[in-house]
Structure 1
């Protein structure tokens, strides 16, 4: 009679908020067991990458995330090669060398190469004739548990090594990670050895990772051995680049090799994480060169978010990506303003309240496991590297004026570096709009005075309600104020060169002595605004509302104006180019919004 088995249903795509679903699988007694092979869950390109560019996985006893920086793991650990260790001490037929453990958890943070390790372990085992059979499964795939049940019924479990990948993607594990792990232990206890991978952050604390089963042995209960994947060191990075691009790093023989090395040199700390190192080729395909570290971080973060979004259903990906990015920005700001004993940490239990407060639609598991956060043994989460925190702090700084006013660059040197890199790009663009090298030099001098007042070059304040805001003396070169409400804003003697004021409401704003050269002011509303002594040179104001604005001493030379605007400005006492010159330019240049 056919035997009824319960098989967990899950494809690993959506790990948040779903009820556990089980289906009854009717397994025919006569069903043949297929030969061991890599499941179709793993796409050919992933398998090819594992074969071609694999750098041997190393393990250590303690989580690397307990260190201040990921790359510091080598200071207190001596990582050992994991596959040779398993071959020699776990899978060996020699009883005197064999480990007493049956169950093994391979734990690592996101992007540390857990799946690549499993693929390579399986392929290496299959390359030779062995006394035991090895089978690789994705833990959340329905056919996994159907096939495991069949192996048991055919009496082959004792001769089979199970590789179960991605425990953190199992829906039942999301609801009850300890209960699900105990259930897996019960279902697989007849097998010779069982290797399970999971993201370390999936478990709230180190103490929550199951270390003992309920299976009795002569010395108590069967234990679960934990292996923590070690980050890459400089030698690993060098090996990967040699494999990926060929040659010796000392002699870069072609352009792509030099470009890859340049990226590594600009962001060396990120490269301890294999996932990010593997993105180098993608970065080079997308953009052949990067001018600074900020551009690389931008590209890396975008690639990481896409990777995580690809794990959720297609209909949810855009929303997931936006919320994950905003979560990272808001969390960075929160950690900066609320340090825990001098460290930028948040306890995992506080993540859900944080998300609700900031209207972020992510589950705790998604925030803890899908983000670029590491979790320490006590359950506190932090960004995987301080430079990642500082990258998102820049994003917070450039999107929140109140945060920017209280931010101290002295505590965050990398954020300052990112800001200077961002500012230099915007200044170069603005100077090009204005057409003045001298102005560019002065703006660069201003850039280096960051932290003096509101200094937000390149800020994005579009669609914000900035009514009555005080930005007197602020440095906002190249900032974006598209569709912002800036009614009665105080912007006296502010530096707004090259800023975008598309459809911005500046009714009755105070802009005395403000530098607005080279701005985009299409359909900006200056009705009743005080622009006395301000400079609006090199602007196109033909689609700008200037009615009732105070223009005494306003510099409107080399500025495009309609006939009515010119006459009004002349009456107000503005500084103007001769009308003949304005008319000539007027005839040659189309309206800005028609371009």
Structure 2
């Protein structure tokens, strides 16, 4: 494997990303092994996909460390780039990153002219990018940066045609263009890996439970082993289990969801933060501000602070998680509320799960940002509440004025899939929240100004698996809602506003759409046939029962139009494109 041969050590905490599923034969490989093979190949872009918490960022950091340890003078230089921390990384991201490290213009010029880089780009999805970093940064073009690029991204962020965002541009007239793109998907933890992680956790953290006790609880609580196949959720579960389980023996009756793990984590984090402030040497002003927070329920004030910050990040920064402060010339005064010098803001900021790096602030994990944002739309009742199925926002009060002022009628979360996932679990846990969402949809029939709330609500209900078969949905106004995979057989949508609604893979047998407004409705992708090279020509047989494609490789494929399965494959002896197929 050239200069990258040999074994690179990956510590136990990075094992989350040691295995990837090969996209063709579904065999598990070492991710490090795949990356090193990529670095020794002619390929230029390697895409690492995985769910939130799968270990992408951890792997990227350890890859950077391993490459520096294996570095030899004159070899490629690894450069880690946290994409959300850079303004517009689609333009000059290498220069911007080097400037962060205080490189001079002369040093940057020398690197560009004489050195080859390995770019490790973390958080493509967190930057809300849709552009091709390789192409926009002109990598490997004459006179430009020479570099290979490794990009990590959450799988949920990408649509079906995502490869164009990452594949290097090649001359479409080249008969067989060099394959410059590679990808891998991080696999979930296996039961063996879960046990190894638990054993290492017990060694490092020294909790009261032994590995045997932890594994017994994980295996006996329904569906928990599936949940903790995600490394980040496993880390939350190991912290939460002693508190959530206690001395209960009937583990089969316990329900532990993802959002419950986050609730427990946040409660413990805030409790530790409050205790730390109580024992700290605070000045007179700081002690007075702390006492004031205690009088108004410190934990709830901290949660409200985190919710406001999460809302600001989504509304002011389009969800980009890194906040730069101080920056007196950017005119964004909203940052002062959270990062200014005031004692109350300082106490709250230090008590919520935030991390600071110089002028940059962000939540400890992207999913925590999304978790707090989800609590903007539904605040679960506190454990000491008399009625655990009610809360300030979920109380049974569905008047028009209440829904008009509701956060779901102010902000769209239709495309915030991770936020929706938290709210889906709230719907399944709290009937009052489900009732309120249904009331929003119903009210939209009479009050057009609640259409945003109704679209958000309908999206959440569908994602929660609520069925609408045979339901009377006449006149509902839910423009832009995502109803993909929803069940609407025999539903009545007469006169409904369904403009730009996503109905991909929805069940719509005998649904009534008379006089419904359906401009821009999406029913899913058009049928397609997958070929291994570009299609240059095609033709139907005279009887319409066969369909042929001629490819740039010279191959010809023939399909049955009844099943659209390939029935013949003809390979030409030459590699010239098949540019014409005549009906036979």
TM-score band w.r.t. shorter chain: 0.3 to 0.5
Point out which structure has higher relative CO (alpha carbons under 8 A, 6+ apart).
1
| TM-score of the aligned structures, taking structure 2 as reference length | 0.41
Who wins on radius of gyration, i.e. which is larger?
1
